[in-house]
Amino acid sequence: MRKALINAVLFPALAVVVALVIFYFVRRRRGRGRGRSVLPSHGGGGARADRFQAAGASGGYAAGGEEALLRFPGGEALTVAAILEAPGEVVAKSSHSTLYRAGLSAGEAVALLRFVRPACAAAAEEAAAAEEAAAAARVLGAARHPNLVPIRALYIGPRGEKLFVHPFYAASSLRRFLQEGINDSQRWEIICKLSIGIIKGLDHLHTASHKPIIHGNLKTNNIMLDVDFQPRISDFGLYLLLNPAAAQEMLETSAMQGYKAPELIKMRDATRESDIYSLGVIMLEMLAQKEVANDNKSPNARDIHLPASFKDLVLERKISEAFSSELIKQSKNSGKEDNLNAYFELATACCNPSPSLRPDTKKLLKRLEDIAR
């Protein structure tokens, strides 16, 4: 009898304790999930989410501390709640933004979210500046090409913060592809495919619209790869949505990494020609299988404004030393040595110190397609 009484009291008590423990860990796990959201300070849902859906449907920007969601093809089903509450992990950081890999509850299962910090974004408190930023965002969102990373949606917050939604590419960036020294990165046909794809994407930006879209920050880290080595240019025109100080800082970072055209020392605005210079550096990077380095202290008579890691190769015409050993071996075995040299000449032409002497995307594409044959 006593044993039965103990069991009658003990087991219910233990059940309550177990239930409380389970409840604690579930709440804690949910709390962690919310803590990983891209913008934890922006809770969403309910009537608030419905209000943003209406704002996004009109494609407008509400100034004066309001918020808006601009949707583009592929992002029609996205809501503010789905974007702001998406659990994500940091992929990369810069002085002006943070890139997240996030899981969305609507649309694509995985996406890349770029959060532009309020302090770096174009001023939101001025209605004219806000409308200008929204107009620029619509132009960027309308850019569609197989070699461009599309913008699915753009959230504009009350403090001017901006959150871009892009598709996720499992193969990562061209920079990582080259860094990891994968055998495919040293295959001549892959280098040609990557180069042609990048030029096609850049040509679309420069020529497809009434007003050219300047990338302004072209580098291997901003070129994503599909699983079949199809390159896609990302972050094009991002400087249009940054305040002047942040846009200039982005250019200076690019300069330290070796991608900045020499004329931008005196000019503040990027141009089609400065994009071509960056493209030339990327082409040299693919040939040499090494990262660019720019440790120049001051220009001199022999300065051709190339990153230091490539300058001596070009100045001394040490063409063979510019290529990876595997590329040289392949070119000799396949009789493509002349093609390899022609590619090198084309890359260096893109880096000409005089902007007017750099080939445009149309000429580059035609020449490279001939070289790749």
Pair 254, 352 in one domain: yes
Q: How much is the pLDDT for 72? A: 93
Q: Is residue 4 part of a domain?
A: no
- Cβ distance 352 to 358 under 8 Å? yes
- Cβ distance 194 to 231 under 8 Å? yes
Question: How far is the C-alpha of 135 from the C-alpha of 340, rounded, in Å?
Answer: 43
Give the tens place of pLDDT for each residue, 254-313: 766 778 888 887 777 889 999 999 999 999 888 877 666 555 444 443 344 566 666 666
Pair 253, 358 in one domain: yes
Give the tens place of pLDDT for each residue, 336-354: 888 888 998 899 899 888 9
Q: Is residue 69 part of a domain?
A: yes
Pair 228, 367 in one domain: yes
Q: What is the CATH number for 78?
A: 3.30.200.20
Q: How much is the pLDDT for 53? A: 32
Query: Could you tell me which residues come within 8 angstroms of residue 124 by beta carbon, excluding any fewer than 6 positions away?
Result: 63, 65, 118, 130, 133, 156, 157, 158, 159, 160
Q: Which one, of 114, 67, 113, 118, lies nearest residue 243 by Cα?
A: 118
Pair 142, 203 in one domain: no
Overall number of domains in the chain? 2
Q: Is residue 214 part of a domain?
A: yes
Name the β-bridge partners of 224: 173, 232
Question: How far is the C-alpha of 242 from the C-alpha of 368, rounded, in Å?
Answer: 34
Task: Show which of 126, 150, 167 is a domain's final residue.
Answer: 167
The side-by-side arrangement of strands in the sheet containing 153-156 is 68-71, 153-156, 162-167, 110-116, 97-103, 88-93
Give the tens place of pLDDT for each residue, 186-200: 788 899 999 999 999
Q: Is residue 25 part of a domain?
A: no
Give the tens place of pLDDT for each residue, 155-172: 988 877 889 999 988 888
The pLDDT of 46-65, averaged and rounded, is 38
Q: How much is the pLDDT for 299? A: 42
Pair 155, 253 in one domain: no
- Cβ distance 248 to 254 under 8 Å? no
Which DSSP state fits 23?
Answer: H
Pair 157, 186 in one domain: no
Residues making up the chain, counted from first to last: 373
- Cβ distance 166 to 112 under 8 Å? yes
Q: What is the CATH number for 294?
A: 1.10.510.10
Pair 157, 79 in one domain: yes
Q: What percent of the chain has a predicted confidence (pLDDT) above 70?
A: 68
Question: How far is the C-alpha of 221 from the C-alpha of 60, rounded, in Å?
Answer: 31
Q: Is residue 20 part of a domain?
A: no
Pair 184, 277 in one domain: yes
Angle at 146 between CA 140 and CA 149, to 5 degrees: 45
Question: How far is the C-alpha of 261 from the C-alpha of 267, rounded, in Å?
Answer: 10
| Three-state SS at 370 | helix
pLDDT band at 365, cuts 50/70/90?
very high
Pair 119, 231 in one domain: no
Q: Is residue 115 part of a domain?
A: yes
Question: How far is the C-alpha of 294 from the C-alpha of 252, rounded, in Å?
Answer: 12
Mutual angle of helices 308-315 and 272-288, in 10-degree steps: 80
Pair 113, 141 in one domain: yes
Give the tens place of pLDDT for each residue, 328-338: 777 777 878 88
Question: How far is the C-alpha of 64 from the C-alpha of 261, rounded, in Å?
Answer: 38
Give the tens place of pLDDT for each residue, 7-25: 554 555 555 555 554 544 4
- The DSSP string of 101-125 is EEE-SSSSSEEEEEEE-TTTBPPSS
Give the tens place of pLDDT for each residue, 225-248: 988 889 999 999 888 888 778 887
Name the residue with higher pLDDT: 128 or 146: 146
Q: Is residue 35 part of a domain?
A: no
pLDDT band at 96, cuts 50/70/90?
confident
Task: Show which of 129, 150, 167 is a domain's final residue.
Answer: 167
Which amino acid type is present at position 264?
A: L
Name the β-bridge partners of 71: 153
For residue 238, the enclosing domain spans: 174-372
Pair 87, 206 in one domain: no
- Range with top average pLDDT, 102-111, 120-129, 198-207, 347-356: 198-207
Question: How far is the C-alpha of 196 from the C-alpha of 231, rounded, in Å?
Answer: 9
Looking at the predicted structure, is the pLDDT value of residue 173 above 80?
yes
Pair 153, 192 in one domain: no
Phi/psi of residue 231, nearest 5 degrees:
-80, 145
Q: Is residue 8 part of a domain?
A: no
- Range with top average pLDDT, 24-38, 52-66, 176-190: 176-190
Question: How far is the C-alpha of 239 from the C-alpha of 215, rounded, in Å?
Answer: 8
Q: How much is the pLDDT for 360? A: 96
Question: How far is the C-alpha of 30 from the C-alpha of 304, rounded, in Å?
Answer: 56
Q: How much is the pLDDT for 156? A: 85
CA atoms within 13 A on the CB side of 348: 19
Task: Show which of 116, 136, 167 is a domain's final residue.
Answer: 167
Structure tokens at 350: 């893109």
Phi/psi of residue 264, nearest 5 degrees:
-75, -5
